[in-house]
Amino acid sequence: MNLEAEKKHWEEETLTKVIKKHPERMEQFETASGIPLPRVSLPRDFDYLESLGFPGEYPFTRGVQPTMYRGRLWTMRQYAGYASAEESNKRYRFLLDQGQTGLSVAFDLPTQIGYDSDDPIASGEVGKVGVAISSLKDMELLFKEIPLNKVSTSMTINSPAAILLAMYIAIARRQDVESSKLRGTVQNDILKEYIARGTYIFPPAPSMRLITDVVQFCHHKVPNWNTISISGYHIREAGSTAVQEVAFTLANAIAYVEAVINVGLKVDNFAPQLSFFFTCHSDFLEEIAKFRAARRLWAQIMKDRFGAKTSRSMRLRFHTQTGGSTLTAQQPENNIIRTTIQALAAVLGGTQSLHTNSMDEALWLPTEKPARIALRTQQIIAHESGITGSVDPLAGSYLIEQLTDEISKRVQAYIKRIDEIGGALSAIESGYMQHEIQEAAYKFQRNVEDKHHIIVGMNEYQLEEKIQMEPLKVDPSIEANQRERLKKLRTGRDHNKVNELLSQLASAAKSDQNLLPLFITCVENDLTLGEICGVLRDVWGEYQSPVWA
């Protein structure tokens, strides 16, 4: 079959089905000079076409949708949350009014590690790096006047992810929204916490059990929910290379797929609701190739290793956040340019949703104007750059394809090594992944200090300047208000029911029953996050990070 025949087959078998459902995607795109843009460009080499495929078809190197952004733009999802639920709710509604198309919730540190705002260990941290959520009442205030059947919500939460999801389902019930109508993502990726980020609570076995409980429950009750967002972002932020980011993320994903299969679900029943989360740094061409390589490798893993049958199971859908660790406190306006370059690479790499960092994030929590500029960056790329008019516009670039192939080879070598160790969990327990990241981070830092790697404004082109922007300050009364709210909550609830549910929870944690239905019942009866996690701590214990020589 020749190239034209292949293209005709793709148009008839794949593209036509999409156009029938979405006729608006037939719109003609042109350059600013009126030159028509072809929907998809073809390589001249037929063998290369076989390795690339067409957009929306295996191995998805060129994108997971046949029309990509010609049909629908990526979700513009700004990560936000600070102080109280009321304050964060105002920010969410502001961002939605500015044209944001999805919510992304940042939780404070006590919430991330399963403590209530009035716990002594939470002192001084309430509302500092995200929103404080201790009870269903907090969650209800967080989403006040936001219809959950009309927005897609991402929640960056891991160890207590199942409990926060239970709260989200419970407030949807109060809005008379069926769980089957909910759309969004819960990060729910504990392995990268052990590797890079550190907000773990429980040991690996019960933590994996919570993850498989979420996957099983959502398969039956919340089918449009992305049950795990397997995250390379935090691995990269800890200092890994782009290759390590992809390799360790896919190795973790393999471990999750194996765990869910082991509890009885078939791969095609849950794989379509797995999603990924990557960062995008400033090495423009490498980052674009990284995303293409990740898509192709995941498709091959799902097909060859796990025997997935449907194309939806083989698609790597991912959210991207521009690189927080690349931002500088020096000359913070430069961060707008960095973020623009990174966002452009993410779009050219085919991301499904995107968060752009604000220029002041190296200094403090994002303030309102920088957050708006970050969102406008995405909107300008979407509507003014012209790159959304063609599917995978850089395909066929000799350098892009060479980088994609080279990244793929290096990632495969890492995955082979991790398999030899015994899989992702064994590689984490032995310290292998952590050591690799530490070595990469050390090498990068040496290059910065030796000026082999120039960071504008930090190790070259410095200025003596006074920062003119005003920081976002979290009112110290937030913590006191949270304590008072929790005191009222505990005073006004049914104590007999609370004790009964705590007892049921302890028994259930020792069994193999799915905990999600009980979590929902618990939060609807005003049990707090800290109380639920406290019972689980008593039953399962807490994870202690090993010390490696």
Q: How many CA within 13 A on the CB side of residue 107?
A: 29
CA distance linking residue 499 with residue 196, whole number of Å: 37
CA distance linking residue 197 with residue 336, whole number of Å: 26
Name the least confident of 21-35, 288-302, 381-395, 405-419: 21-35
CA distance linking residue 13 with residue 15, whole number of Å: 6
Closest CA to 195 of 154, 233, 243: 233
Residue 446 has pLDDT above 90, yes or no: yes
By residue count, the chain amounts to: 549
pLDDT band for position 507 (50/70/90)?
Answer: very high
Name the least confident of 40-49, 95-104, 169-178, 340-349: 40-49
Q: Which residue has the higher pLDDT, 32 or 3?
A: 32
CA distance linking residue 354 with residue 137, whole number of Å: 29
* CATH 3.20.20.240 matches 148-390+402-449: yes
* pLDDT at residue number 19: 72
The mean predicted confidence, pLDDT, of the chain is: 92
CA distance linking residue 1 with residue 283, whole number of Å: 38
**Sign of the alpha-carbon dihedral angle for 38, 43, 47, 48:** negative
pLDDT band for position 465 (50/70/90)?
Answer: confident
CA distance linking residue 200 with residue 211, whole number of Å: 13
Residue 3 has pLDDT above 70, yes or no: no
Region 435-450: mean pLDDT is 96
CA distance linking residue 150 with residue 274, whole number of Å: 21
Residue 473 has pLDDT above 60, yes or no: yes
Q: What is the DSSP letter of 280?
A: E
**Domain positions in the chain:** 148-390+402-449
Q: What is the DSSP letter of 15?
A: I
Tokens of 1: 């079959």
pLDDT band for position 27 (50/70/90)?
Answer: low
Element (H, E) at 270: helix 267-270
| Percent residues over pLDDT 70 in the chain | 96
Residue 17 has pLDDT above 70, yes or no: yes
Degrees to nearest 5, angle at CA 403 with 400 and 406: 150
* pLDDT at residue number 43: 60
* pLDDT at residue number 49: 64
Region 312-324: mean pLDDT is 96
DSSP string, 279-330: EE-S-HHHHHHHHHHHHHHHHHIIIIIT---SHHHH---EEEEE-GGG--SS
* pLDDT at residue number 474: 76
Residue 382 has pLDDT above 70, yes or no: yes
CA distance linking residue 3 with residue 42, whole number of Å: 8
* pLDDT at residue number 95: 82
Q: How far is CA 14 from the centre of its chain?
A: 28
| Residue 34 region by backbone torsions, left for phi larger than 0, else alpha for psi between -120 and 50, else beta | left
pLDDT band for position 100 (50/70/90)?
Answer: confident
CA distance linking residue 322 with residue 339, whole number of Å: 6
* pLDDT at residue number 488: 97
C-beta of residue 508 within 8 angstroms of C-beta of residue 522: no
C-beta of residue 187 within 8 angstroms of C-beta of residue 145: no
* pLDDT at residue number 25: 59
Region 1-10: mean pLDDT is 70
Residue 548 has pLDDT above 60, yes or no: no
Element (H, E) at 51: helix 46-52
Element (H, E) at 78: strand 75-80
Strand intervals (E) in 234-351: 274-280, 318-322
Residue 39 has pLDDT above 90, yes or no: no
C-beta of residue 287 within 8 angstroms of C-beta of residue 270: no
pLDDT in tens, 59-99: 999 999 988 998 899 988 877 777 789 989 998 888 888 88
pLDDT band for position 183 (50/70/90)?
Answer: very high
Tokens of 448: 């910065």
The b/e string for 417-439 (b: 16+ C-beta within 10 A; e otherwise) is ebeebeebbebbeebbbbebbee
* pLDDT at residue number 162: 98
How is the beta sheet containing 225-226 ordered, strand by strand? 225-226, 183-186, 152-156, 102-106, 75-80, 353-355, 318-322, 274-280, 228-231
pTM of structure? 0.91
Would you call the peptide bond into 59 cis, given omega within 30 degrees of 0 as the criterion? yes
Q: How far is CA 194 from the centre of its chain?
A: 17
State how far the alpha carbon of 344 is from the alpha carbons of 285, 287, 305, 340, 395, in Å: 11, 10, 33, 6, 15
* pLDDT at residue number 470: 79
Provide the pairing of β-strand 152-156 with 228-231. unpaired
pLDDT band for position 503 (50/70/90)?
Answer: very high
State how far the alpha carbon of 374 is from the alpha carbons of 50, 76, 77, 362, in Å: 38, 10, 11, 14
CB within 8 A of 340, min separation 6: which ones?
A: 377, 381
Residue 376 has pLDDT above 80, yes or no: yes
Residue 236 has pLDDT above 60, yes or no: yes
SS3 479: helix
* pLDDT at residue number 24: 62
Name the least confident of 7-11, 132-136, 207-211: 7-11
* pLDDT at residue number 8: 75
Residue 386 has pLDDT above 60, yes or no: yes
* pLDDT at residue number 48: 63
State how far the alpha carbon of 143 is from the alpha carbons of 120, 204, 261, 532, in Å: 27, 32, 34, 22
Residue 42 has pLDDT above 80, yes or no: no
Residue 233 has pLDDT above 60, yes or no: yes
Q: Any alpha helices (H) in 57-177, and if so which ranges?
A: 85-97, 109-112, 136-142, 161-174
Q: Which residue has the higher pLDDT, 549 or 243?
A: 243
Region 308-314: mean pLDDT is 97
Residue 26 has pLDDT above 70, yes or no: no
CA distance linking residue 96 with residue 456, whole number of Å: 33
Name the least confident of 93-97, 215-219, 391-395, 456-460: 93-97
Region 420-427: mean pLDDT is 97
* pLDDT at residue number 86: 92
